[in-house]
A and B are shown apart, each in its own frame.
Chain A
Amino acid sequence: MDKNFKEEKFTGFTKFTPPLYRQRYQFVKDLVGKYEPKKVADLGCADCTLLCMLKFCSCIEVLAGVDICGSVMKEKMHRLSPLPVDYLQPRERSLTVTLHHGSVAHKDPCMLGFDLVTCLELIEHLEESELKKFPEVVFGFMAPSRVVISTPNSEFNPLLPGVKLFRNPDHKFEWTQLQFQSWALETARCYGYSVEFTGVGHPPRGMENVGFCTQIGVFVKRNPQTSVSTQSEKPTEAVYKTVFKAVYPCLKDEKYLQNAVVGEVIFTAQIIKQSLLKRLMSEHGEYNGDPAERKSKFQPSVSCFSEDLGKLAVEKSMESSVSGNVVYIPLATIFSFPRVNQLCGTFEKLSKLVAGQVTLSNDGSAVMLNTEHEDR
Chain B
Amino acid sequence: MTGRARARSRGRPPGQEAAISSVGAASVHQAVPVQPPGRHQPRVHPSLSEEPSGHGCQSVPQGQSERRPEGLQISVGFQELSLADRGRRRRDFSDLGVNTRQAMEHVQESKTGTSGVMIKLTTNYFRLTSRPQWALYQYHVSYNPEMEARRLRSALLFQHEELIGKTHAFDGSVLFLPKKLVNKVTEVFSRTRNGEDVKITITLTNDLPPSSPTCLQFYNIIFRRLLKMLNLQQIGRNYYNPNDPISIPNHRLMVWPGFTSSILQYEESIMLCVDVNHKVLRSETVLDFMYSLYYQVEEQRFRDTCAKELIGLIVLTKYNNKTYRVDDIDWDANPQCTFRKSDGSEITYIDYYKRQYNQEITDLNQPVLVSQCRRKGGNMMPGPVVLIPELCFLTGLTEKMRNDFNMMKDLAFHTRLPPEQRQREIGRLVEYIRKDDNVQKELRDWGLSFDSHLLSFTGRVVQGEKILQSGNAFDYNPQFGDWSRETRAAPLICPKPLDNWLLIYTRRNYDTANTLLQNLFKVTPAMGIKMNKATMIEVDDRTEAYLRVLQQSITSDTNIVVCVLSSSRKDKYDAIKKYLCTDCPVPSQCVIARTLSKPQTVMAIATKIALQMNCKMGGELWSVEIPLKQVMVVGIDCYHDTLSGKQSIAGFVSSLNQTMTRWFSRCVVQSRGQELVDGLKACLQTALRDWFKWNKYLPSRIIVYRDGVGDGQLYTLVNYEVPQFLDCLKSVGKDYNPRLTVIVVKKRVNTRFFAESKGALKNPPPGTVVDVEVTRPEWYDFYIVSQAVRNGCVAPTHYNVIYDTSKLKPDHIQRLTYKLCHMYYNWSKYLILFMEMERCSSVYLKASSVAHPDQHTVGSCLRCAFYLSVQ
Known: A72-B151, A376-B594. 9 other contacts (CB 8 A): A8-B52, A53-B72, A82-B233, A260-B283, A266-B249, A266-B250, A288-B542, A296-B299, A300-B291
B556 part of interface (Cβ distance < 8 Å)? no
A295 part of interface (Cβ distance < 8 Å)? yes
Chain B residue at minimal CB-CB distance from A266: B249
State in angstroms the CA–CA spacing of A217 and B363 once bound together.
Answer: 39
A289 part of interface (Cβ distance < 8 Å)? yes
What is the distance, in angstroms, from A322's C-beta to the closest C-beta of chain B? 18
Contact B52 A259 (CB under 8 A): no
**In A309-337, which residues have CB < 8 Å from any B CB?**
309-310
Known contacts A58-B358, A259-B247, A295-B299, A8 near B53 by CB under 8 Å: yes
Chain B residue at minimal CB-CB distance from A50: B69
What is the distance, in angstroms, from A115's C-beta to the closest C-beta of chain B? 17
State in angstroms the CA–CA spacing of A310 and B288 once bound together.
Answer: 12
Contact A17 B345 (CB under 8 A): yes
Contact B247 A304 (CB under 8 A): no
Contact A88 B363 (CB under 8 A): no
Contact B252 A267 (CB under 8 A): yes
Known contacts A5-B149, A5-B151, A169-B196, A262 near B249 by CB under 8 Å: yes
State in angstroms the CA–CA spacing of A265 and B250 once bound together.
Answer: 9
State in angstroms the CA–CA spacing of A76 and B148 once bound together.
Answer: 20
Which of B316-324, B769-777, B854-862 forms contacts with chain A? B316-324
Chain B residue at minimal CB-CB distance from A357: B249
Q: Mark B432-472, 1 if CB is under 8 A from A, else 0.
A: 00000000000000000000000000000000000000000
Chain B residue at minimal CB-CB distance from A75: B80
State in angstroms the CA–CA spacing of A87 and B66 once bound together.
Answer: 32
What is the distance, in angstroms, from A294's C-beta to the closest C-beta of chain B? 4
**In B264-286, which residues have CB < 8 Å from any A CB?**
281-284
B601 part of interface (Cβ distance < 8 Å)? no
A83 part of interface (Cβ distance < 8 Å)? yes
In the complex, what residues of A have CB within 8 A of residue B231's CB? Answer: 81
Contact B363 A303 (CB under 8 A): yes
In the complex, what residues of A have CB within 8 A of residue B72's CB? Answer: 49, 52-53, 79
Q: Which residues of chain A have a CB within 8 Å of any CB of chain B?
A: 2, 4-6, 8-9, 11-12, 17-19, 22, 25-26, 49, 52-53, 56-58, 71-72, 75-76, 78-79, 81-85, 87-89, 165-166, 169-171, 259-260, 262-263, 265-267, 271, 274-275, 288-289, 293-301, 303-304, 306, 309-310, 357-358, 373, 375-376
Partner of B406, one of A9, A267, A373: A373
Partner of A89, one of B299, B318, B345: B318
Looking at A8, A274, A358, the one whose CB has the most chain B CB atoms below 10 A away is A8
How many chain B residues sit at the interface, stated as a range, is 35 or more
State in angstroms the CA–CA spacing of A304 and B335 once bound together.
Answer: 14
In the complex, what residues of A have CB within 8 A of residue B68's CB? Answer: 49
Looking at B249, B284, B343, the one whose CB has the most chain A CB atoms below 10 A away is B249
Known contacts A2-B149, A52-B72, A56-B358, A88 near B65 by CB under 8 Å: no
Known contacts A5-B66, A274-B296, A56 near B228 by CB under 8 Å: no
Chain A residue at minimal CB-CB distance from B345: A17
Q: Mark B279-320, 1 if CB is under 8 A from A, else 0.
A: 001111000101110111011001100000000000011111
A-B contact list, 16 entries, CB within 8 Å: A8-B53, A52-B72, A56-B357, A79-B321, A81-B233, A82-B233, A84-B281, A84-B316, A88-B393, A263-B283, A271-B292, A303-B362, A304-B291, A357-B249, A375-B567, A376-B406
Known contacts A169-B192, A259-B249, A76 near B65 by CB under 8 Å: no
Looking at B282, B290, B291, the one whose CB has the most chain A CB atoms below 10 A away is B291
What is the distance, in angstroms, from A166's C-beta to the closest C-beta of chain B? 7
What is the distance, in angstroms, from B79's C-beta to the closest C-beta of chain A? 5
Looking at A165, A260, A267, the one whose CB has the most chain B CB atoms below 10 A away is A267
Contact A298 B193 (CB under 8 A): no
